[in-house]
Amino acid sequence: MNWNVRIGINPLSWMNDDLPSLGGETPLETALSEGKEIGYEGFELGNKFPRDGPALKAKLDEFGLACVSGWYCGFLAQDTVAAEVARCRAHLHKLQYNDVKVLVYGECAGTIQGSIDTPLAKRPRFANDDLWKAYGQRLNEFGAHLKNTYGITLAYHHHMGAYVESPDDVDHLMAVTDPNHVGLLYDTGHAYFGGATDPVTLLTKHAGRVVHVHCKDVRAEVIAQARNDGWSFLTGVINGTFTVPGDGAIDYDAVLSTLHAAGYQGWLVVEAEQDPAVAPSYRYAKKGYETLRGIVDRLDRQGA
C-alpha cells in the first residue's frame, strides 16, 4: 500500500514574503513552472498568488498544480474569536474553493519574526497557565468554526519569534487544545531552531496531532551563532539558518519514518527561507524534492 502523502513546496525557495529583496524580482510563473518540472504536486501560497479563489485555481491549473494551503496571520493570543472569524472569511473562502484541507495558522500577535532589528530573546510569552488555558480555548473555538463552516482543519505553526517557539511551548499548546479542533503543523527547522536539537523526539511525542508538515533543514553552525550572538529571526534567514531537506543537520529518514509509523497522511512541504542569490532556487528545490521522494519511495517499498 502506498503511503498517502504528497510532496509540495512553498515559494520561499524563489521569493521571500518577509524580505522581498530576496527573490523579489522573480515572477510567480518561474516558481510554478520550475516546481512542476522538478516533480512537486502543489504549492503553498505567497504574496504573488492571485487573491481570490477562482483566479488562484486558474493560475495553478495552468501548471497542473494543487493549492497546498496558505499562511494565515492569526491574533488569538490578544484578540477575540469573533474578530478572528470575521478576519479569516475571505482567506478561508479562497482555500475552500481550491479544496484545501488545512489552514496554516501562524500566531502574529506580538510576533517579532518580521523585525530584523529585534533579537529572538524578546519574543512574546504567556506569563502563566491561566493565559495559556484561555488561549487554548480561543484556538479550540476558532478551530471548531473552521471545521464546521469550511471543512478545514486548523494546523498550528510553531514559529520562531512568536508565542509558541520552544519544545516546552509546543507541549503546552498541545495540552491546552482539543485534538478534535486544533492540529499541529510540525516544522522541522523551527523545531530545531526553537531548541529541539533532535526534532524526532518532539515529533514522536506529538505525532498523533500532526496534520501538516513543513520540511526545512538547518545549518547547525549558523543556528548556534544566531543563538550566541542574539540575532533576529530575519538576520538568521539572511545568514543561512535554513536550507532544504538533505542539505543540513536533520535526519529526514528518521523524521519521515516517524510520520509513516504514526499513520500521517497529508502534505510534506519543502519550505526553506534562503537567499536565492546564494542558494539557487531550482537546484535547492530539486535537492529538497529528491531527498523527500527517495525516502517516501523507500518507505513505500518497505511497507508493500
Rounded Cα distance between 146 and 103, Å, is 9
Predicted confidence at residue 131, as pLDDT, reads 98
What is the model's pTM? 0.96
Predicted confidence at residue 272, as pLDDT, reads 86
Predicted confidence at residue 28, as pLDDT, reads 95
Q: How far apart are the first and last CA of the chain?
A: 6
Rounded Cα distance between 223 and 219, Å, is 6
| 160, 194 Cβ separation under 8 angstroms | yes
Distance, CA of 35 to chain centre: 18
Residue 245 belongs to domain spanning? 5-303
Predicted confidence at residue 20, as pLDDT, reads 66
Instruction: Calculate what percentage of the chain has a pLDDT beyond 70.
Output: 97
Query: Angle formed by the axes of helices 281-303 and 28-38, to 10°?
Result: 30
**Below-50 pLDDT ranges, the chain:** none
User: Angle 153-212-19 (CA atoms, 0-180°, nearest 5)?
Assistant: 105
Give how many domains the chain has, as a whole number: 1
Predicted confidence at residue 303, as pLDDT, reads 74
Mind giving me the DSSP string for 115-168? -TTS-GGG-----SHHHHHHHHHHHHHHHHHHHHHHS-EEEEE--TTSSS-SHH
What is the CATH classification number for the domain harbouring 26? 3.20.20.150
